């Protein structure tokens, strides 16, 4: 082995040792999640709960089921799209190099933000579902979760496979999905033919695709230090 190779090997071992040391000295998972919770702009959660409140009010006004379905078809995708600004902020503000040169990388930050939004959104949707169940319209759970999963899939897929800085693509895809979903639920003949088992199948499929896309996003995110 030449002297240059010895030097290169020493440098690589030094970098690895420093990285391992920093990882051991870093904060716990709970502390990191809390720090990301403080970093996330809370206005998006306020707007999300505003969407759920508006939907709950509409469901309590005694409208027909057709009107309620149309309201859900519009409000739930808007509720979901409000996740996008925080997930896209790293790319839009060109923060990848800064994040990847710290102890916690872009991958860690994506995971933390998705976990935090998942917890808050699941709480909000569960609360809404609990309230609507008291009215005997628990079948709406699939009409809530399927568009939620669908828009999440489009947003995460754009973040995974699209390299642009602006989020025009996921917004456009979400709009197209919302329009298609709205037209589907507005068609009484088609809606009447969708059985409970088919709704359940749609939900399981959307959940499976969402998990696959989430894995792809995490897998493709950089975890290597910039200076490594």
| Other CB atoms within 10 A of residue 64 CB | 8
- Report the number of distinct structural domains present in the chain: 1
By residue range, what is the domain housing residue 132? 31-220
**Does residue 159 belong to any structural domain of this protein?**
yes
13 in any annotated domain: no
CA 17, 20, 24 angle in degrees (round to 5)? 140
Q: What distance lies between CA 113 and its chain's CA centroid?
A: 8
Task: Give the pLDDT mean for 209-220.
Answer: 87
Nearest residue to 152 (alpha-carbon basis) of 160, 140, 142: 160
Q: Which band of pLDDT confidence, cut at 50, 70 and 90, is reported for residue 195?
A: confident
Is residue 69 exposed (0-12), middle (13-18) or buried (19+ Cβ within 10 Å)? buried
Tokens (6 digits) for 228: 């490594």
> What tokens were used for 205?
């499929």
Structure tokens, 117 = 């939004």
Global pTM value:
0.74
List, in sequence order, the alpha helices (H) in the chain: 3-25, 29-39, 43-59, 65-81, 84-92, 96-100, 106-133, 140-161, 168-186, 188-192, 196-220
Least confident of 66-75, 136-145, 170-179, 202-211: 136-145
pLDDT digits (tens, 9 = 90+) for 135-160: 555 566 788 889 999 999 998 898 88
Structural domain contains residue 22 = no
Distance, CA of 224 to CA of 228 (rounded, Å): 7
In a domain, 3, yes or no: no
């Amino acid at each position: 082995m030449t002297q240059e190779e010895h030097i290169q090997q020493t440098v690589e071992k030094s970098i690895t040792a420093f990285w391992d040391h920093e990882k051991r000295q870093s904060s716990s998972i709970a502390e990191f999640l809390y720090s990301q919770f403080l970093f996330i702009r809370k206005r998006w959660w306020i707007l999300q709960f505003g969407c759920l409140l508006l939907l709950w009010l509409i469901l309590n006004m005694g409208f027909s089921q057709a009107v309620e379905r149309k309201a859900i078809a519009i409000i739930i995708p808007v509720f979901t799209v409000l996740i996008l600004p925080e997930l896209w902020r790293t790319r839009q503000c060109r923060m990848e190099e800064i994040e990847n040169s710290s102890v916690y990388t872009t991958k860690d930050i994506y995971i933390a933000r998705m976990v935090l939004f998942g917890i808050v959104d699941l709480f909000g949707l569960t609360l809404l579902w609990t309230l609507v169940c008291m009215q005997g319209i628990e079948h709406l759970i699939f009409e809530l979760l399927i568009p939620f999963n669908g828009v999440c899939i489009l947003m995460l897929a754009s973040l995974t496979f699209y390299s642009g800085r602006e989020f025009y693509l996921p917004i456009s895809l979400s709009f197209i999905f919302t329009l298609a979903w709205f037209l589907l639920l507005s068609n009484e003949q088609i809606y009447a033919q969708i059985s409970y088992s088919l709704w359940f199948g749609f939900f399981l499929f959307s959940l499976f695709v969402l998990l696959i896309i989430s894995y792809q996003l995490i897998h493709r995110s950089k975890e290597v230090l910039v200076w490594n």
